Structure 1
Amino acid sequence: MSEPAGILAIDAMGSDLGPSEVVHGLALALKKKPALDGILLVGQEPLLLSLLEAEKVKDNGRVRIVHASEVIDMDDRPLQAIKQKKDASMLRAIDLVKTGQAKGVLSCGNTGSLMAAGTLRLRPIEGFERPALAAIVPTENGFFILLDVGANPNTTPKQMVHNALLGKYYAQAVLGIEDPAIGLLTIGTEEGKGNELSNKSHEYLKAARGHINYHGLIEGFHVFDRTVDVVICDGFVGNILLKTCESLLINVKHYLTHQLKKNWMRRMGALLCLRAFREMKQQFNPDRYGGVPLLGLQGTIIKAHGSSNATAIQNAIDVGYNMIREHKTSALQDAVAKVNAGIEEL
């Protein structure tokens, strides 16, 4: 008798913190949501059995282990790892989606290997050329979507329009914005001020306004003022921007901590502001969503940070289930076909 199909396949072995952190995050997710079911935990079975037993979730029927004997390490070369480590937990998890045994994958593992294997084995949705990584970025009073944040550093103008469509879909799914405003990140809002990629992309995006709410060009200082709901750029720029923002936030946190501990008056002032600091920490907590989706594939792939803690894993599982529920392949195929036809006419 065949096993029932799962919903989310979790690569338990790819984390920098080890499989125990992944399993702990899974246990938190199961405890928080009693209706959560259909988890396929992929990795070395004896180890995972002991970890599940320690978390007291071994025999609850909501988790099934799929054995995989190998692990793709963070310093492995993506294509080489895919060819040589055929029984790696990441690849087994992706294959579960390919064969219909799961609907999505969550992995903390090697980003290059995850993107390469996902693209090769699940293939882009018809009409899309390359997938894109999309991040949810917090602001003072909300969030915006930033993509691409690293999947495709050598983007073409046509792929930038594809990213806009994917960003629209993702903002609708996770932020609940029906008609998100989309902006193209460049060095100036004047027409023609930018490089060849931004200028051509701007032309294509204007032509696609019947399918997306294209606001137009935006600069760096527009990114956090909620001028738009979706910021699009190539994967090279997006990855640098995201990591710079993360680094700046950590730097500001350390600076404030140091300054507020300098004397007793500052410490008293900090106590008076404690509630505000807690709310700020919650708003800008990178663990809040836990993972970024690789959009544009015929299956859901969620990439969590390699150093994700249990809370981040728990929240990434939520992201995975939301993306599986909102996966709209046919709608995206229709939209991209019309956009591609419009580009061909330019």
Structure 2
Amino acid sequence: MTAESDIQTKPQYDLAIDAMGGDHAPEIVIKGLEITAVRHPEAKILLIGDKEKLSPLIKTYSKAAKICDVQHTDVAVPMEMKPTSALKLRNSSMRLAMQSVASQQAKGVVSAGNSGAMLALAQVIVKTMPGIARPAMAAITPTAKGDIVMLDLGANVSCDSRNLVDFAIMGNAFAKAVLGLPKPTIGLLNVGSEELKGDDRLRNAAEVLRNSPLSGQFYGFVEGHDITAGTTDVVVTDGFTGNIALKTGEGALKLVFHLLKQVYSSGLRGRLGYLFVRPGLERMREWLDPKRYNGAIFVGLNGVVVKSHGGTDEEGFAYAVDVAMDMIRHGFYEEILTGLSQVNPQ
């Protein structure tokens, strides 16, 4: 592991990791980075946190040690802290991670810490990209046809037509970088698929997209059932609607598994039936494993910012790092800039 005094001479890190963020930090962070070191042995990580707590873990997980440099701070943002209070913590591990991106020491940030604090610090320190009015929260979600991208999921409760167009551009770039789709299809979430449905902001955003370089990828309006059907690769909506749709989908999945458990534990026939369908249920569990869809991504910022779920384990955290590395390696930031210049020429 590189000595701490050598950090300032390093030209660039791929990611700055908030080692102290999350319910089970720093243990799951280091264990997750052990997995990252196998998947991305070339990665360069700036690990920010309490050196006294990190040192024994680093010694245990030698693969993680090879890709990490440690920057010490004993200040962490509590999970329950209000964003306004978190902004006042000058040397928190989350803030220092954001500052490393703002100073171009690192290309991105991954944290399992406080969501509200992370968004506030990202907006204040990393700042939004030129041409983007508001950042959005995006996530990958499973459908009948495969994974799709959905945004915004809660960062912006109300949006105008320009925000929705920006989200479409960012969702397009994200689907290219993370899902590997050369020309992802894009849909605007609405109360109906007809052109006259919805309010002015939705119809205006649709009109802009139909007359933009994204016109060949723009599907039009999609409805709630189209999300799980995988009708489009990207679903665009405001944060209020998106968050409700996301939480409803999560609740529906929990209900399905709860009902299946009741069916297959309700007597001898149910238990015998379970023996026959178990392989299929195990495959379904793998497809819908929340670790594969861990966290959310704040898009539209001057750097990659990935929010891992606070209660995740090491596999989930490693997946969040995978997403961040994919975004960096595939030019996510540059793809958004290109899209903005084409759709909103100066």
Q: Normalising to structure 1: TM-score of the pair?
A: 0.92
SS in 2 for 1:287: helix
Partner AA of 1:256 in structure 2: L
Q: Which of the numbers 140, 150, 155 marks the counterpart of 1:151?
A: 155
Task: Give matches, 1:48-127, under 5 Å.
Answer: 48-57=54-63, 60-82=65-87, 84-127=88-131
Partner AA of 1:332 in structure 2: I
Give the equivalent residue in structure 2 for 1:39: 45
Q: Which of the numbers 320, 326, 331 marks the counterpart of 1:327?
A: 331
Give the equivalent residue in structure 2 for 1:10: 17
SS in 2 for 1:135: strand
Give the equivalent residue in structure 2 for 1:271: 275
Partner AA of 1:97 in structure 2: V
How far is the alpha carbon of 1:141 from its aligned partner? 3.4
SS in 2 for 1:288: helix
SS in 1 for 2:155: coil
Give the equivalent residue in structure 2 for 1:336: 340
CA contact (8 A) 2:158 2:240 kept: yes
* Structure 1 residues 316 and 262: alpha-carbon distance in aligned structure 2, compared to 1, 3 A threshold: same
CA contact (8 A) 1:182 1:212 kept: no
Cα distance between partner residues in 2 of 1:140 and 1:188: 20
SS in 2 for 1:250: helix
SS in 2 for 1:105: strand
Q: Which of the numbers 10, 21, 24 marks the counterpart of 2:31?
A: 24
Give the equivalent residue in structure 2 for 1:227: 231
* Structure 1 residues 93 and 34: alpha-carbon distance in aligned structure 2, compared to 1, 3 A threshold: closer
Q: Which of the numbers 251, 254, 258 marks the counterpart of 1:250?
A: 254
Give the equivalent residue in structure 1 for 2:3: none
How far is the alpha carbon of 1:89 from its aligned partner? 0.7
Deviation readout 1:74-101 (Å, 9 max, x if unpaired): 222213311x201111110111111122
Give the equivalent residue in structure 2 for 1:304: 308
CA contact (8 A) 1:158 1:201 kept: yes
How far is the alpha carbon of 1:23 from its aligned partner? 1.7
How far is the alpha carbon of 1:8 from its aligned partner? 1.2
Partner AA of 1:306 in structure 2: G
* Structure 1 residues 212 and 335: alpha-carbon distance in aligned structure 2, compared to 1, 3 A threshold: farther
Q: Which of the numbers 181, 190, 193 marks the counterpart of 1:189?
A: 193
Q: Which runs of 5+ in 2 are unaligned?
A: 1-5
Give the equivalent residue in structure 2 for 1:286: 290
Deviation readout 1:142-201 (Å, 9 max, x if unpaired): 111111111222211101001001111111111121111111101112233223432332
Cα distance between partner residues in 2 of 1:195 and 1:80: 37
Give the equivalent residue in structure 2 for 1:214: 218
Partner AA of 2:78 in structure 1: D
Cα distance between partner residues in 1 of 2:326 and 2:338: 22
Cα distance between partner residues in 2 of 1:251 and 1:201: 35
Cα distance between partner residues in 2 of 1:179 and 1:255: 38
Q: Which of the numbers 172, 186, 191 marks the counterpart of 1:168?
A: 172
Cα distance between partner residues in 2 of 1:15 and 1:50: 19
Cα distance between partner residues in 1 of 2:276 and 2:312: 32
Cα distance between partner residues in 2 of 1:212 and 1:294: 26
139-148 or 72-81: which moved more? 72-81
Identity rate, percent: 34
How far is the alpha carbon of 1:263 from its aligned partner? 1.4
CA contact (8 A) 2:165 2:208 kept: yes
Cα distance between partner residues in 2 of 1:56 and 1:124: 36
SS in 2 for 1:103: strand
Deviation readout 1:225-249 (Å, 9 max, x if unpaired): 2221110000111111112211221
The count of residues paired between Structure 1 and Structure 2 equals: 339
Deviation readout 1:217-270 (Å, 9 max, x if unpaired): 111111122221110000111111112211221221122112201112211211
Cα distance between partner residues in 2 of 1:190 and 1:335: 26
How far is the alpha carbon of 1:341 from its aligned partner? 4.2
Partner AA of 1:48 in structure 2: L
